[in-house]
Amino acid sequence: MLMNHATRGPAPLAQRLRRTAMLCGLALCTAGATHMARADQTPAPALVHVSASASLEAAPDKATIQARLWEKTPARKVDDKAPDSKAEGQAARKARESLESRITTLIQALEKAGIDSRQISAGSLNLRPEQYYERNNGQQQPQQWRRTHLERPISLSLDDLDKVPEVIDLLLGAGVNQLAGVQYQISERDALEDKVLQEALSKARHKAQLMAETLGATLGSVQSINESSHSPRPQMMAMRADMAEAKSSGSEYRPGELSLESSVQVSWHIKSAD
């Protein structure tokens, strides 16, 4: 029996193109993997990390004094009866007139003492209702009372610290109900903070330069900078002024010095002498 064997011809063109594309893709993947492996082996740049800080003491040259004056209407019982709006309005008006008179007298006394009107800031009138309970002997239930609290703040900015005791005496003599405090400040605070920061950065560079030179290297470019400032505010001198005998005649107020601090963390690239 005779069998015919067909002769296999060359592969079609499309098949040869697909095979060539597969081989090229494999070659590209291999080259990419080799490149990544070489990149992973690249050494990290040499860095030097330095921390430094600086501080500065400065005497304050400004002071702000804050006080409050208030009046309260007579307390009235809270019961089932409708409140007497007319009587309450008259009481509030009388309390307001008394408060405004006290504020005016105080401002006039301050200006007479040499305080410029531009250094005096009298706040607006604030009103708020107050309620409280009081139990008398023999009562099973405490009695509820209601009144109106009227208040005005006043603030003074002083450039002459020697006037602080005199101004406090004037405030207490005018019967202020509360001295919120004396806040001491530095007028050139921003410039001083810049100076402290520059000093901290100079110290950081000096340390980095010293370390590099000692190890036979040179400083390159700055890679990162972090800064934190600590400028605590002076402790506020606060006092209550409800008692007239709290007058401060002869007292001295010593604000001391204020501390400004700055800390930096800087990283440099270093170049080896080799």
CATH number at residue 99: 3.30.70.2970
Closest CA to 231 of 103, 60, 99, 88: 60
Please indicate, yes or no, whether residues 71 and 144 belong to a single structural domain of this protein: yes
- Which of 164, 185, 206 represents a domain boundary (last residue)? 185
**pTM across the whole model:** 0.64
Asked if residue 202 is part of any domain, the answer here is yes
CB 258 within 8 A of CB 187: no
Residues 177 and 68 in one domain: yes
The domain boundary, picked from 157, 185, 213, lies at: 185
Q: Does residue 240 form part of some domain?
A: yes
Selected residue with higher pLDDT from 273 and 176: 176
pLDDT > 90? residue 236:
no
CA separation for the pair 119, 158 (Å, rounded)? 7
CA gap 238, 168 in Å, rounded = 11
Q: What percent of the chain has pLDDT over 70?
A: 73
Question: What confidence score (pLDDT) does residue 255 get?
Answer: 75
What rounded mean pLDDT belongs to the chain?
A: 81
| CATH for 55 | 3.30.110.170
Other C-beta atoms lying within 10 Å of the C-beta of residue 143: 14
Query: Residue 21 pLDDT more than 60?
Result: no
Least confident segment among 41-50, 61-70, 250-259: 250-259
**Same domain (yes/no): 180, 93:** yes
Average pLDDT score over residue span 153-166: 93
Domain boundary residue among 153, 185, 217? 185
Long-range contacts of 83-89 (CB under 8 A, 24+ apart): 83/146, 88/148
- Asked whether residue 71 falls in the same domain as residue 174, the answer is yes
Q: How many domains does the chain have?
A: 2
pLDDT of residue 45: 78
- Domain, as residue range, for 117: 63-185
Within this chain, do residues 200 and 145 fall inside the same structural domain, yes or no? no
**What pLDDT sits at residue 44?**
74
State residue 13's pLDDT score.
Answer: 56
Question: In terms of Cα–Cα distance, which of 152, 145, 146 is closest to 96?
Answer: 152
